[in-house]
Structure 1
Amino acid sequence: MTSAPAVIDSRVNAMIREFAAHRGFAGMPEHRLIYRSYDFPATRQVWQVALGPEVFALKLDHDAGPEGRLAKEYAELQNLSAHFAKYDKLGIATPVYLSPGGTFCVTEFLDHRTAGERLQAVDNAQTRRQVFRRAGLWLHAMHEYKPQKRKEWWGNWMLKELDEVVERDEMQAPASEVAHMRAILHEQVRKVNRTKDTHATSHGDFHSENIMLGPGMTYGFDFTEARAKMAVYDVVDFLKCDIYRDTPAPEVDHAGITKAHREMFFKGYKHKLNRDVLDVSLRGRLLIDWASITRQNHVKLRVDRILYRNLKPRLDIAFAKA
């Protein structure tokens, strides 16, 4: 590991020294930046910190306070750690320290590939399927964290968000095609609105970079957005991670997701979900993602060009079969 003190905010140095002192470690630990928030790069970061052979992840938010987002996340981590201790081969990063000021917290450092990295690195279809099965198992346990409820699902937010995207007039996608799919989505939302479905304490940001796969263990992390909500949205967040792969049309299901991946996910995840609500939520999310790619980013960012190219045939299938 290497450190770069010349470019490190003095506040970060102070945080690292505070944690080292708490652990009784003399001197300045080795450290390196491993994550910087896309939306808040200067204030929200994660640093890898080594106190000799012990390695930790220090998550900071310069704008947080004693009762702010990190303090709430740390309290949730402590409770979740006890919850996941009941499960074999499932876990989270163990919470270690919360700064009295609430500006940073520390967990054990998990040195494993994320589900997203695993999916990108392998061509073996069976290995990819196992990633989805293990994610389903972990999320099933997460949704058992607190008693579930049955609440009415409302999908109007998807239409509102889509309308806001269209109104900005920055879409790479043809407005006429978005309008056509939006009309179909509107009718589907109208039909399934008020359907009773599972409401659970959810991860809140369950994409493929927030789950790690170690030998015989599956870990979830980053619980900043954890809260009680409709369980279907965690499922949607993970199932849509396969859109970065070129998938032959016969392998894509009626909601735009790879059939085998959905099937394997639900071999792990067993909570009751209304499948009509799931399908409409998936179609809405994929359409919003496609429409949100701007003309400017389509030119600048290769990842957006790949996403745009891969989403269109999936949407054509999903809305043709709707």
Structure 2
Amino acid sequence: MTQPSAIIDSRVNAMIREFADHRGFVGMPEHRVIYRSYEFPKTRQVWKVELGAEAFALKLDYEADSDGRLAKEFRELQNLSAHFAKYDKLGIATPVYLSPTGTFCVTEFLDHKTAGERLQAVESDQTRRQVFRRAGLWLHAMHEYEPQKRKEFWGNWMVKELDEIVARGEMQAPADDVAYMRAILHEQTRKVNRIRDTHATSHGDFHGENIMLGPGMTYGFDFTEARAKMAVYDVVDFLKVDIYRDTPVAEIDNTGITKAHRDMFFKGYKHKIDKGVLDVSLRGRLLLDWASITRESHAKIRADRILYRNLKPRLDIAFAKA
């Protein structure tokens, strides 16, 4: 429901007024909050702002400045708009306005379901597979934004991060199971370290809620984490959306991902990714997600209980502990 124009937060109202004045809009726009950061709910938000028939997404960060994270993201969006104009049926949320203070920026409002929402809503195998194919197509275009390089892969960070999680002593997962999988991950990581793989300007946070699927168009958004990095990590970030669905064990491959979904993703994504590097990265990511679920969050948060339940059989396959 749209919030009334009475004071919600004076800073938000001032931002909305600034943008409305910039567009020459008279009166108070309709507006409502549509997103709050999980980690920074009071300082990082997204508001839907309606100026008559036009709708926009206003992204704010009270702690940003004129050369901060939002200003950098907005400049990236401007460059990416030009890049994606070369592709048919692929795009991003068009950048519209950056406040001189850098505390907020505005893009067009995309009113489509995210890839994650579509995967949760549909029962058709073919429709789900097309979500993965379209995501692969979009990411292929993203990784062509700037010239690619070949750099050495180093996966030691996964083992180090897992050790830090274990040391905190808060895991819901049985310590013996995690130790068994950690030993396998360590050995597999050692074998693929130093392999030269694709390094590209990447989205940086390419999960199922940062891509929208409209009629005939696929859009990416939220480029705050965009930077040059190993391309495999964007691929892993999206493929692991598969874990939020119940999948028959027979359809899971040896990395814990539905084989048909992985295959369809690579119908769209064609850049060279070393298979060994991808396999180890997927296993490591799923293990980290499982180990990160604490006893407290498992008891209190239904989504974590579902995630924990879904991950266990996949990890048993990925680490051959069925």
Structure 2 length-normalised TM:
0.99
Match of 2:173 in 1: 173
Q: Secondary structure at the match of 1:160?
A: helix
1:38 aligns with 2:38: yes
Match of 1:97 in 2: 97
Cα displacement string for residues 124-160 of structure 1 (whole angstroms, at most 9, x for unaligned residues) = 1100000000000000000000000000000000011
- Indicate the percent of aligned positions where both proteins have the same amino acid: 83
Match of 1:317 in 2: 317
Match of 2:24 in 1: 24
Cα distance between partner residues in 2 of 1:93 and 1:58: 12
Cα distance between partner residues in 2 of 1:7 and 1:205: 33
How far off its partner does 1:189 sit?
Answer: 0.5
Cα distance between partner residues in 2 of 1:277 and 1:9: 47
Amino acid at match of 2:28: M
How far off its partner does 1:8 sit?
Answer: 2.1
Does the 8 Å CA contact 2:5/2:30 hold for their aligned counterparts?
no
Cα distance between partner residues in 2 of 1:307 and 1:270: 30
Cα distance between partner residues in 1 of 2:310 and 2:264: 21
Cα displacement string for residues 46-82 of structure 1 (whole angstroms, at most 9, x for unaligned residues) = 0000000000000000000000000000000000000
Cα distance between partner residues in 1 of 2:4 and 2:42: 16
Q: Secondary structure at the match of 1:45?
A: strand
Match of 1:131 in 2: 131
Q: Secondary structure at the match of 1:298?
A: helix
Q: Secondary structure at the match of 1:35?
A: strand
Q: 1:274 to 1:305 in 2, by over 3 A?
A: same
Cα distance between partner residues in 2 of 1:180 and 1:216: 45
Match of 1:267 in 2: 267
Cα distance between partner residues in 1 of 2:54 and 2:252: 44
Amino acid at match of 1:107: T
1:219 aligns with 2:235: no
Match of 1:70 in 2: 70
Match of 1:258 in 2: 258
Q: Secondary structure at the match of 2:209?
A: helix
Amino acid at match of 1:146: E
Match of 1:81 in 2: 81
Cα displacement string for residues 179-228 of structure 1 (whole angstroms, at most 9, x for unaligned residues) = 00000000000000000000000000000000000000000000000000
Is there any run of 5+ residues in structure 1 with no aligned partner, and where? none
Structure 1 length-normalised TM:
0.99
1:58 aligns with 2:58: yes
Is there any run of 5+ residues in structure 2 with no aligned partner, and where? none
Cα distance between partner residues in 1 of 2:149 and 2:319: 31
How far off its partner does 1:7 sit?
Answer: 6.6
How far off its partner does 1:4 sit?
Answer: 4.2
Cα distance between partner residues in 2 of 1:223 and 1:8: 27
Cα distance between partner residues in 2 of 1:287 and 1:22: 48
Q: Secondary structure at the match of 1:219?
A: strand
Amino acid at match of 1:2: T
1:153 aligns with 2:153: yes
Cα distance between partner residues in 2 of 1:207 and 1:50: 27
Q: Secondary structure at the match of 1:27?
A: coil
Match of 1:140 in 2: 140
Q: Secondary structure at the match of 2:65?
A: coil
Match of 2:246 in 1: 246
Cα distance between partner residues in 2 of 1:92 and 1:244: 25
Cα distance between partner residues in 2 of 1:85 and 1:3: 35
How far off its partner does 1:244 sit?
Answer: 1.1
